[in-house]
Structure 1
C-alpha cells in the first residue's frame, strides 16, 4: 500500500491534510516530562499511530518502553513500581536485586556489559590494580542511565510517514567499560508494529564484555486465563525449580495465583527462513495478541518469565545474547561477546499488535510452519 490507512479509509498525504489542519489529530509524536511521585523529572516521548497503538519511550530510562496501549487497552505490563527517576536507583541494594524496583513497562533492557543474575567477575583487563574485580547486580546497570535524545520527529516520504525516536545511552566508568547504546524506535503513522534498532559499540580502548537482554513485559487483559504462548520450540534447556513445584503450564496460562513463585524457562526457539525468531501471546478467544520477532543470530537465547502472582500478573518474553548460566559461565566456556575498540553489535526487534481472530490465527499459522512446540512442561 502506497498511501495511509486511517479510520478505514485509504488516503494520500494530501488527502489527509485536506481533512485536518494538523495530522497530529490522528497520529503523531510528542515530548513530555513526568512530574509527580517517583517519576518526577523523567523525560518521555509518546508515539501514537492512527491505528490506535500508543507507546511511551522513556528517554531518562535508557530509551526503554513504558506504557503501551492499543485503542486505549493496555498491552504492556505495569508492575506498580512506576517509572522511577534514575536518581532513585540503588545498584547495590538488596544483594544486587534492586533492579526489581525499576522493573515496569513494556521493555526494560538488560546490559550493556552484564545481564542475568549478579556476581563478581574479573576486571584486571582494565588495568586498574585497586579494582581487580567488578560486582554486578541483576541485569546490569543500563536501565538507570538517562539517554541523550538525538531525534524525535515525523519522517515523511511521499504518502508514507514514520514516527521516529532516536537516542544514545553511555555506560562508562574511569578504568572500566565505555559502551554506547544507540537506540532507534519507529512506528508507522498508521501502523501496529513497533521496530527497535539497537547498536552497541565500544568507545573505550580496552577489550570489553558485552551482554544484552530485552525484558519485554505483557499484562492484563492480553495476559489472562487461557492466554496461549505460541512458539516454535525444539527443547527447553533449563527451567526454575518452581516449575516442578507448582506445575503451572508454560503454554496455557491460568488466572492470577496468590503467592505464585516466578517460573522461568529457557527455550530453544527455531528461526524462520529469514533468520528471525518469532513468538506470540494470544488471548483464549483470539481477540487480541502480540507477536515479538528478532534476529536469531544476534540473540540466540530466549527466556519465558511467568510472574502470575496476584497483583503482579505478567508474562515476560526475553530474547537474550546469552544463556541462563550468565556472565562467569560465558567467560569460562568462550561464549562471552568481547568488543574491541570501535567494534559494535546490531539488534533488530519488532513488537506487533494482533487485532482480532484473523490476525492472531495468521501469526499462529506462520509460527507453526516454522515448528511445533510441546504440549506439557519439561520433566
Structure 2
C-alpha cells in the first residue's frame, strides 16, 4: 500500500547534475532491512509495533540509515508510520523522500473523490493539465489512460498538521492521511485510472519533493540537506473511514484547514519538461 521513495534521491530516473545515474524513486524500497523487531505492548490494548533498519551506503557519497516503525492498535481504525533518517557520515548530504501511498478498489472507482488541504495545485506536465479541472474526481478503469500527476502546496494548522482524504462515489468508504508539513512540505497526487489489469490505482504522496528528477528540484528548494550526524523525523497517520459519518467528518477537517478558500488551479507546470528533455 505504501512505498518509501528515497532517501538518497527520489523522482524520475535520469542523470543528475554531477553525472550520476539516478534510478526511479531511489533505492530504499528495494533495500532489505538489516534488523527487524516486533514489539507487542504488555498492557491492553496491546499495541503492535514493527521496527526495521535500512541502510543506504554508497562509497564516498551516502551513509544514510533509516529506522522505520509501523504501529497499530487492535480495534482501532488507524495506524501510524514513524521514521527516523540519520546521516551517519562525517559530511553533510542531500536527501529526498516521497511516501507513495497507493489506493485502488473498492475505494477507487468511477466517481470517487479526493480532497486535500492545499493552497495551490499544478499539473506535473502538459498532459496532466488536460485533466486539471477534474483533479478531484476519478474515472472508472479506462483503457489508454496515461498517468496524470499533480503537484500541490499543502496548508496546515498551527502545529503543521495537514490532511488528505480519498473516498468512494457513495461517500461511505474511504481513507485519510495526516502528515506534518514541517517534515513533508509538498504533496503529489498520482492518478492512474488505467485498466484493472494494467493497474487501476491512485497515489496520495506527501514528501520533501515532487516526482521530478532531482536536478530539476534543486532550483525549487526541494532537495533538502541533512547535516553530518543529524536525524530527520517523518510521521504519518492513515485512517480507514468505514461509514458516511466518518468520511463526512474527515472532509470537514480538510475544509476547516482550507478556511473557506479554494485550491487555486495553476495551469503552468512548475518544471517545463518540454525544454529539458
How far 1:334 moved relative to its partner? 4.9
Counterpart for residue 111 of structure 1: 6
The correspondence for 2:192, drawn from 291, 297, 307, is 307
Question: Are 1:303 and 1:318, in contact at CA under 8 Å, matched by a contact in 2?
Answer: yes
Q: Secondary structure at the match of 2:47?
A: strand
Question: Are 2:11 and 2:213, in contact at CA under 8 Å, matched by a contact in 1?
Answer: yes
Q: Secondary structure at the match of 1:253?
A: coil
Question: Are 1:251 and 1:375, in contact at CA under 8 Å, matched by a contact in 2?
Answer: no
Q: Secondary structure at the match of 2:42?
A: strand
Q: Does 2:24 correspond to 1:138?
A: yes
Q: Partners of 1:354 and 1:334 in 2: how far apart?
A: 35
How far 1:242 moved relative to its partner? 1.9
List aligned pairs for 1:1-379, cutoff 5 A. Answer: 106-121=1-16, 133-157=19-43, 159-245=44-130, 249-311=134-196, 312-332=199-219, 334-371=221-258, 374=262, 378-379=266-267
Q: Secondary structure at the match of 2:20?
A: strand
Q: Aligned pair in 2 of structure 1 residues 136, 373: CA closer, same or farther (>3 Å)? A: farther
The runs of 5 or more residues in structure 1 that have no matched partner are 1-105, 124-132
How far 1:160 moved relative to its partner? 2.5
Question: Are 2:121 and 2:152, in contact at CA under 8 Å, matched by a contact in 1?
Answer: yes
Q: Aligned pair in 2 of structure 1 residues 304, 335: CA closer, same or farther (>3 Å)? A: closer
Cα offsets for 1:206-254 (capped at 9, x unmatched):
2221111111000011101111101223211343322244567211112
Cα offsets for 1:249-275 (capped at 9, x unmatched):
211112111110100000122112331
4+ residue segments displaced more than 3 Å: 244-248, 323-326, 329-335, 372-379
Cα offsets for 1:275-300 (capped at 9, x unmatched):
11200001121221100011111110
How far 1:119 moved relative to its partner? 2.6
Question: Are 1:249 and 1:376, in contact at CA under 8 Å, matched by a contact in 2?
Answer: no
Question: Are 2:98 and 2:210, in contact at CA under 8 Å, matched by a contact in 1?
Answer: no
Q: Secondary structure at the match of 2:46?
A: strand
How far 1:201 moved relative to its partner? 0.7
TM-score scaled to structure 2, two decimals? 0.88
Counterpart for residue 270 of structure 2: none
After TM superposition, the structure 1 stretch with the greater mean CA deviation from structure 2, 216-225 or 159-168, is: 159-168
**Cα root mean square deviation, aligned:** 2.1
Q: Aligned pair in 2 of structure 1 residues 208, 122: CA closer, same or farther (>3 Å)? A: farther
Work out the number of aligned pairs and report it. Answer: 264
Q: Partners of 2:254 and 2:136 in 1: how far apart?
A: 14
